[in-house]
Amino acid sequence: MREEERVEMVRTQVEGRDIDDPAVLAAMRKVERHLFIPDSRRKEAYADRPLPIGSDQTISQPYIVAYMTELLRLTKSKSVLEIGTGSGYQTAILAELAEKVFTVEYIASLSGEAREILDKLNYRNIAYRVGDGYAGWPEFAPFDAIIVTCAPDDIPDTLIGQLAEGGRMVIPMGAGSYQELMLIEKKPGGKVVIRDLIGVRFVPMVHS
């Protein structure tokens, strides 16, 4: 039954909104979203909305996960930095597509819970860190792609600095109820191009 729900979720919520990257669609069909959601909300796992996961954090709407992932243009030879491990669901989607995922989470308990689930699912291409997302993960930079799943007031210069030339970063930005999802591309030679995409709503990015 869960698989049927997942296939229907992808058909209506993802393909139905013009996500067409075959690898992204395959990952969305494969990763079991209900495993990343508290037992009390699992019946809603494949609904078209974000859901609470505890610690005032959320798991994003499936479409937004697919949309942000498609923008990164990941392949099996690429490394990706994720800021905001959260439930680990987005992390799993990235791990299906990239060679290596480096994921940073500010809340230690969330990082531990996500890692436990992802280890059980046998993902072996994920590195975990508890810390300030604004700092990124300089030891493993530059990254071919960066995805930020929480909203800062301004784009952190540190993250732009850790993006490889030719790389892409997707990040929601803004305070309060309205934020803008932005695509940042670092062109060969280091020129940075920023584009506004769609209105979104993410939890704030915590900074220590």
Q: What is the pLDDT of residues 47-75, one digit of tens each?
A: 888 888 887 888 899 999 999 999 999 99
Residue-by-residue pLDDT tens, the chain, 208 positions? 688 999 999 999 999 998 999 999 999 999 999 999 988 888 888 888 888 888 788 889 999 999 999 999 999 999 999 999 999 999 999 999 999 999 999 999 999 999 999 999 999 999 999 999 999 999 999 999 999 999 998 899 999 999 999 999 999 998 777 799 999 999 989 899 999 999 898 888 887 6
Query: Whole-angstrom Cα distance, residue 120 to residue 124?
Result: 10
Q: Tokens for 109, please give them.
A: 């308990």
Q: Where are the domains of the chain?
A: 2-200
Helix axes 89-97, 108-120, angle to 10 degrees: 50
Rounded CA-CA distance 96/30 in Å is 9
Tens of pLDDT, residue by residue over 3-16, are 899 999 999 999 99
Q: Of residues 40, 55, 60, 208, which has the active-site annotation?
A: 60
Model pTM? Answer: 0.95
CATH superfamily of 2-200: Vaccinia Virus protein VP39 (3.40.50.150)
Strand order in the sheet with 179-186: 126-130, 100-105, 79-83, 143-148, 163-173, 179-186, 192-200
**How far is the CA of 72 from the CAs of 68, 81, 108, 153, in angstroms?**
7, 11, 26, 22
Active site residue 109: no
